[in-house]
Amino acid sequence: MSEPMEQRGLASQSRSTRSAVLRILDANLDRAREGLRIVEEWCRFGLESAELTEQCKAMRHELAQWHSDEMRSARNTPADPGTALTHSNEETRSSIQAVLQANLCRVQEALRSIEEYGKLLSPELSQACKQLRYQTYSLESRLQGRNRHQQLAAARLYLVTSPHEYLFEVVEEALKGGLSLVQYRDKNEDDGRRLANAQRLCDLCHHYGALFLVNDRVDVAIAVGADGVHLGQQDFPLEAARQILGPEYLIGCSTTNPTEMERALRGGADYIGVGPVYETPTKAGKAAAGLEYVAFAAEKSPVPWFAIGGIDAQNLPAVLEAGAQRVAVVRALMAAEQPKQVTQYLLSQLYAR
- List residues bridging with 157 in a β-sheet: 327
Burial class (CB in 10 A: 0-12, 13-18, 19+), 38: middle
Contacts of 19 (CB under 8 A, 6+ apart): 74
Which of 276, 277, 273 lies closest to 306, judged by CA? 273
Assign 3-state DSSP to the chain and report helix, strand, coil percentages, each to 5. 60, 10, 30
Contacts of 82 (CB under 8 A, 6+ apart): 27
Burial class (CB in 10 A: 0-12, 13-18, 19+), 150: middle
Contacts of 257 (CB under 8 A, 6+ apart): 289, 293
CA distance 159 to 330: 6
Is position 254 annotated as part of the catalytic site? yes
Among 113, 180, 254, 301, the one annotated catalytic: 254
Burial class (CB in 10 A: 0-12, 13-18, 19+), 13: middle
Is position 133 annotated as part of the catalytic site? no
CA distance 59 to 42: 15
Which of 309, 284, 306 lies closest to 350, judged by CA? 306
Which amino acid would we find at residue 257? N
Among 18, 185, 194, 340, the one annotated catalytic: 185
Q: Provide Rg for the chain, Cα atoms.
A: 25
Is position 122 annotated as part of the catalytic site? no
Q: How far is CA 235 from CA 173, 225, 240, 253, in A?
A: 30, 20, 11, 9
Residue 311 in contact with residue 278, Cβ under 8 Å? yes
Looking at the chain, how many residues does it have? 353
Q: Which residues are catalytic?
A: 185, 254, 283
